Structure 1
Amino acid sequence: MIILTVISGIYLGAAIMEVIRATTGEKRKMPFLLSLVILLIPALSPLLMDVEALHEFFILRLILLMLSIFSKFIAFSIIFRRIKLNILYICLMSLITSQMYATLLSRFLPAGHVLDIAAMLTEGTALLIILFIIRKRELELTLQQELKAIAKYQYVMVIILAYIINIFVWASLSEEHHRIAEFLLMPTLVGFTIVLISVISTTAAASKQKMVSELLADQIEKQTEYYDNIKQIYSEFRSFRHDFKNHLLCIRSLLAENETEKATDYISDIEGVLEREKQDFDTGNIIVDSLLSDKKAKALRSGTRIEFTGFVPTMGLSNVDACIIFSNAIDNAIEACAKDQSGQDKVISIKSDFKKGYYFLTISNPVFESVNFKGKNQLVTSKENKTLHGLGVPNIIRAVHKYEGTVDISAEDNRFTLEIVMHLKKEQ
């Protein structure tokens, strides 16, 4: 029976070891067989408590009890060659779950080694099934990232709650300790609610951060596309500059031969080429030029024109922030215009100006449904997925605040208006 107890303890320890690898990403520093030998430490330690000669030495039994509790942590620290809180947490949780399995199985089995063996085999098998599902669905990395988002105090809360639940289950199954179960019912419910709310809030915050990261990644990807367009424009300009010398040579030759009419026609041909290659927008900022050209094609698909007047400075305004402000604002405007299916002409108006260190930007567009606010400059998105959307305006506000700026949003007379004022400094 003792041999079966030791084997069951090694089996459970191996299952926990693999769970640690899957959920924490820790790498085992020892071969599997050597790891099983190390797991003899926690498998043998509970047997020391059964030695009758030690029953009279209270302090020694207390030390052995503490070693028995932390024996798995010691063994796993040796196997992984790391002393980490997440390993300690898993070991403590395993201690709780082992007691819980033993409590549940005590209804069917007598106390003693048989009950211990059954509890360890049941827990080890349950862990291996969970591990199989995690690896089958390739959830290791996702699980590791999610667990990193959980705060340390939440781990402590879960352990305390697990201990309370364990005692509650034990007392519930015993008629003699029914009063203890009644006493622990309310703390169990309150603790479960607190832990649940805490975990949900952490998960929501992590999800929000993930969405913002994805949105920023999308902004960077778009900005890269605009840079590629600019590189192409520069390449075409260098090519034209190279050809321009040849054009001047040809015109000079025609004039030298008094072929004035042919020289005039030649100049007209060059003007025609330049007219075809002329940019759609000339804002003074090549990033914004490229961005507006890209958005123009998207807007035309919903029968919408983009009209720009003014000037966009390049000094004091970073390309990333310019991209965030213009792309989010115009995307929102295009989406609003696309909701109209009447075929009427729609215009997104962009007015830009720079005076005495201050940059003024106004973007307005028609709207075809009610615009709801839940606070100053806080829009209520009309899209079904509230989590994935509604981040555009907050991103604009964050970018503007970098420049000691202000944002004012209004929706009057079926027209949505975004007004921005920023203080631009040369060193920014």
Structure 2
Amino acid sequence: MSLPQIIAQLLNNLLIIIPAYYFYQTILCFAPVKEQRVIKLLVYFMTYGVMITVIYPQDPFNVLGVLLLFTLTMLLGFKGTYQRRLGAVFLLLPLVISSNFVFEELGLRIFLETGQTLTIDTALHLFFNFLRIPLWYTVYRRYQKRITNAKKVMNPAMWNMINLVSLGPLVGIVFVVIFAPSDGAWVIFPAMLAIALTSIGIQYLTGYLSEAIKKDLENKNYKLQEDYYQELEKNQQEVRKLKHDLNNHLSVVGSYLEGDQVAEAKDYFTGLSKVYASQTRAFSKNSLVNNVLNSKYQLAQQNEIDCFFNIDLSDWVGIDDVSLCTIFANTLDNAIEAAAKIPEVDRRKLSVKARYYKGYFSYEIVNSTEEQLVTKAGKILTSKPDKKNHGFGLANVREIVDNYDGTMKIKQSDDEFLLLIVIADV
């Protein structure tokens, strides 16, 4: 092989590696790759293999091989829900197959019509491989924001709907390739373009749907803010009332002490302390989270539960406020309900720890309990009689954790329930 041929081959490989990189980055918008280095390396080689596979007319082996290779890569090499991993296959593979097919067929058509020389063949490969770079860079930029946002807010049921719609273009392009005429395959280019545009349109639909969900979450966010300020105003009124009545309170306590009624004075102070204890505490700088924690803390106090709250969320947490509040509210409701059912007050315990440190949000809640978990098909069932309208709390929490590619573990002993959540910064 001559030096120009070696240079051309190296340049050709480079022109494939760059779009393969953007293709890989686009996949990461759907799901993160597994942490093991061997798997990461294997995933990139398989991604590269998908990009360099040439698709010919009436070529079931290559088109089905690419489908199988990409599906296995997503299922075995990436984390996250199956719905999102399959979504990457259904949305991206029509673009891969159509671009691989069209660029190869165009190059071959020009090659046959201009003369069979090695120089022309090499030039055509370099040119069409170069075109892959702006193509996949554009795809990556378009998918980066929409799909990244979608995976945070869309639940598995919504992804199932997107996947079902995306299945049409994928099946369509596979059949178009298999039954394309071997002579004059250019006639199916319009069908290829239509399928590719349909796949891109579904991506826009996914982005639109995620934006609609995000706006709905923002509306809930505003409602939580309104509730917070109403609660804050209520507490401020209580504080003003206490200050106004302070002289009266001191007079009452003084009269008890003057009459040597120490027990009555203590009881009166105990009553005052409960009123002060109901005021808003600064658990978190996030007003929404602080409101939820205060509300649940007061509920626990009303049920005579011994509480320990250790919240360190001073830094930014890469979880939207509504999702974060959903995690706190649902888990605390379950914990308080379980602890409150224990007859002996001194056994009612609740511990909550939340921290954001070095890019990781960790949350641990431990409560005393006398109930045993009831599970079915790996899901925890509610113990309430009205199972139709209850039992969604932990399911909602797990859904949020899955959307953020986190981990959630549950452990229960005879008298204690523990839930641990870890979510990496996104």
Q: Does the pair score TM above 0.5?
A: no
Q: TM-score, normalised by structure 1?
A: 0.38
Question: Which structure has the larger Rg?
Answer: 1
Q: Which has the higher contact order (CA 8 A, sep 6+)?
A: 2
The normalised TM-score by structure 2 is: 0.38
